[in-house]
Structure 1
């Protein structure tokens, strides 16, 4: 039975986290707040659970969900060939609104969809999210909305869209905390020799370049010797443009996730 917990109450938060941990272990989905928007989560290592997550959103395996992690040292357990530049960005902006696309560890027993050997990782800066991830370990997480509809900014909004497909809703109030606009995480492709932004969001290009001056912005050409190297096109929309969580083309700013836009964000 679907249950909502008011996590502004210490008692309900504890009960909700316990129920959510149990639901994840049973290959069910849960919804919880992050520092960007609300996310729908499933066990990243359970193909059955990931399939349920995608079905709940009404999307295909062609756009695999990102994975949220509880601590930065989980990076090397889930990704391989992590460059010094990618590690520098993680150390600077995790926890926070930065998603890194990396080469997935080939030995891991998981099936997130058509990843083509990549994984998108993020460490959220939200207490409830951190508490849940500490209990469960890495989770496959997507924005808590039906494909093509705005990302949920409260647990109630998520439940209106996802209904009984989710076992547990952890209601933590409006997200993001600092304002009314749902700003997605910035996504950086770190699979090649030069890092490049494939979606602008919470972390600006200027902030990224303070840490790694050579980061390429949207639409900027790679150095000639790297231009022929393809990026992880499984995370692009059908026309090859940078894609959001649901595969819809993303605009050059964070407004792609707000207002009347049909684009959704990742969590």
Structure 2
């Protein structure tokens, strides 16, 4: 296993080897973390650096777990249609399979390629808050082959307001994701914190700088009326504002 208990250092420089007072370098990578190295690539900028995106696409295509920045917190991502990726993601997180994985999409069109036409309420919310910190829980179509866990009746979709996951979704397709933390622990909002907590469970970390830190708001759109499953970055009043009377 790759250790993440040592500080990072720039490629080409010797490790500082002072475990009692670990420090992280400032500025863009790439950095190597730990004695057996977890690569952290700088992904800051809009558009993000093509080299970082290409490396992430290659890892995702191989069915591996990539840690990515988003507009909320750092996330762990896999291609849900690659064999073995979902199992690795559940294992990295320590997440019970009874809790389904949400999916990131590039836009409404990609969302509808997964679940079909959005309901009127889901479309109103997507039009108002996508891209952004809103996860829509929708009925799962019978022909969606990805095993996302849960009871298989619903799927949570989100279009993030961050160039890295959007670019990856455009290159790879929808991504199964979960916040970058062990189950039950606080999510990581910086790449160094992520590396210390989960570096031995991921193949690559894209460093987008600090994330906002507020989780997405989750809204159930499976019934005739919407329901708040989790209030996050978007207050419930903002959700209701998508439905003017």
TM-score range, shorter chain: 0.7 to 0.9
1:93 and 2:165 aligned:
no
Q: Distance in 2 between matches of 1:22 and 1:159?
A: 20
Unaligned runs of 5+ in 2: 1-36
Choose 11-20 or 146-155, whichever is displaced more.
11-20
CA contact (8 A) 1:5 1:12 kept: no
Q: Distance in 2 between matches of 1:184 and 1:170?
A: 19
For 2:86, which of 45, 50, 54 is the aligned residue?
50
Q: Give the C-alpha shift of residue 47 in structure 1.
A: 5.0
Alignment of 1:112-261 (within 5 A): 112-176=148-212, 182-212=213-243
For 1:102, which of 109, 131, 138 is the aligned residue?
138
Q: Give the C-alpha shift of residue 18 in structure 1.
A: 0.6
Give the TM-score taking structure 1 as reference length.
0.74
Equivalenced residues, count: 209
1:68 and 2:104 aligned:
yes
Q: Which runs of 4+ in 1 moved over 4 A?
A: 9-12
Q: Secondary structure at the match of 1:164?
A: helix
Cα 1:80–1:117 shift into 2, 3 Å:
farther
CA contact (8 A) 2:134 2:216 kept: yes
Matched residue, 1:232: none
Q: Distance in 2 between matches of 1:12 and 1:141?
A: 19
Cα 1:54–1:195 shift into 2, 3 Å:
same
Unaligned runs of 5+ in 1: 177-181, 215-267
Q: Deviations over 1:134-175 (max 9, x none)?
A: 111100010011112110001111111112221110001100
Q: Distance in 2 between matches of 1:12 and 1:114?
A: 33
Q: Distance in 2 between matches of 1:158 and 1:64?
A: 22
Superposed CA RMSD: 2.0
Q: Distance in 2 between matches of 1:41 and 1:151?
A: 14
CA contact (8 A) 2:104 2:174 kept: yes
Q: Give the C-alpha shift of residue 212 in structure 1.
A: 2.1
Q: Give the C-alpha shift of residue 78 in structure 1.
A: 1.4
Give the TM-score taking structure 2 as reference length.
0.80
Cα 1:169–1:42 shift into 2, 3 Å:
same
Q: Secondary structure at the match of 1:192?
A: coil
Q: Secondary structure at the match of 1:211?
A: coil
Q: Give the C-alpha shift of residue 93 in structure 1.
A: 0.4
CA contact (8 A) 1:47 1:110 kept: no
Q: Distance in 2 between matches of 1:46 and 1:112?
A: 12
Q: Give the C-alpha shift of residue 213 in structure 1.
A: 5.5
